[in-house]
Amino acid sequence: MDLFPAEAVRGEFAHSTTYLNTATCGILPRDAVAEVRLLAEAAGAGIPAGFGDFDRVERVREAYARLVGVAAERVAVGSAVSTSVGLISAALPAGSEVLCPEGDFASVINPFVVRGELKVRFAPLESLAEAVGPGTALVALSAVQSADGRTADLAAVRAATTAYGARMLVDASQAAGWLPFDASPYEYTVAAGYKWLLASRGVSYLTVSEEAQDTLTPLHAGWVAAESMWDSTYGPLERLAHGARRFDESPAFLGYHAAGPSLALLERIGIDAVHAHDTALAARYRAGLARLGHEPVPGGSPIVSVPGLAGRQDALLSAGVVTAARAGNLRASFHLYNTEADVDRLLNALEG
């Protein structure tokens, strides 16, 4: 798209606010809204098209696989990140040490904490690689922190886990869709589909490396986890799917019908272009904050959090500017549908 971002994207979305909250939930493109509406209307009319389309789910799986650089057979589709993390937690032997960053998002931590019989240890994000040791079985972390946008040094953590023979789980929920992200170096990655990937709740992705596939048991296996899905609707399945599809959940079709056009849009534009656009807007906002005397959490991601300003969220919303309050910070997040005018509107509102 030669005119990206503003001219090429303007007609793809129909939001009526200055929406700066993708880190909470992305905006559905018009085409995605249309697909959801068609499916819902078909379901309401009681016609077979309302059942949902597994072929569309497969195309979404393939599109996500291309986005994160793995084969489609290494991708499982689900409904929530925490469910996939729960599978990984359940696979660890009692007494295993899991290392996590301090203050990381709950979905990538709690499935390990609630088991009780695991040793969950926390370290600062900036020194996480140094905290990996000979007793570490798994490091679980977000590629980008939800609360403040800090970006993990994944290469350093991967080098440390490799040195000590530990596995690695990366949550790409706040990365995939704006950050060029390669899932292939890691045993496991997860991502929510409703943020930077512009689908709706009910869409999530799990990647499992070929080497790690047999480390997990598909505890929620239904008929969709079978190698021959349509021959496994009754009775015990004869054989699990040969790839990561064995970890599939039965898809929430409204979400996956939306995900198809959204991923197609991201592919059409290109993640490198989205990355350049999103981070440029964040840099403009950071510069404006400095002029106003505010100091955001340091970083270069399109998630910008300002300590002490969380109380301004309601007033900003009343002015038509959508942000979030997280961990005492005012959090703004910039994506492909945002413009420099959106950044300036937020800064003007803060100044006023």
> pLDDT band at 214, cuts 50/70/90?
very high
Q: Are residues 18 and 160 in the same domain?
A: no
Q: Is residue 11 part of a domain?
A: yes
Domain with 208 in it: what CATH number?
3.40.640.10
**301 burial level (CB within 10 Å; 0-12, 13-18, 19+):** buried
Angle at alpha carbon of residue 169, lines to 99 and 153, rounded to 5°: 75
Please say whether the beta carbons of 77 and 204 come within 8 A.
Answer: yes
Q: Are residues 91 and 240 in the same domain?
A: yes
Domain with 274 in it: what CATH number?
3.90.1150.10
Q: Are residues 16 and 95 in the same domain?
A: no
Q: Are residues 162 and 306 in the same domain?
A: no
Q: Is residue 321 part of a domain?
A: yes
DSSP-assigned letters across all residues of 203-258: -EEEEE-TTTGGG---TT--GGGBSSGGG-SSSS-SSB-SSGGGGPPPP-HHHHHH
Q: Are residues 64 and 118 in the same domain?
A: yes
Listed residues 213, 239, 267: the one ending a domain: 267
Listed residues 228, 245, 267: the one ending a domain: 267
Q: Is residue 280 part of a domain?
A: yes
Q: Are residues 147 and 176 in the same domain?
A: yes
Number of domains composing the chain: 2
- pLDDT, tens digit (0-9, with 9 covering 90-100), for 253-292: 999 999 999 999 999 999 999 999 999 999 999 999 999 9
- pLDDT, tens digit (0-9, with 9 covering 90-100), for 152-198: 999 999 999 999 999 999 999 999 999 999 999 999 999 999 999 99
Which pLDDT does position 284 carry in this prediction? 98
Q: Are residues 178 and 60 in the same domain?
A: yes
- pLDDT, tens digit (0-9, with 9 covering 90-100), for 224-244: 999 999 999 999 999 999 999
Q: Is residue 197 part of a domain?
A: yes
Q: Are residues 134 and 18 in the same domain?
A: no
Amino acid at 172: A
Q: Are residues 76 and 61 in the same domain?
A: yes
Please say whether the beta carbons of 186 and 169 come within 8 A.
Answer: yes
Domain range enclosing 311: 6-28+270-351
Q: Is residue 37 part of a domain?
A: no
The mean per-residue pLDDT over the stretch 341-347 comes to: 97
Listed residues 231, 252, 267: the one ending a domain: 267
Q: Are residues 316 and 203 in the same domain?
A: no
> pLDDT band at 126, cuts 50/70/90?
very high
Q: Are residues 123 and 181 in the same domain?
A: yes
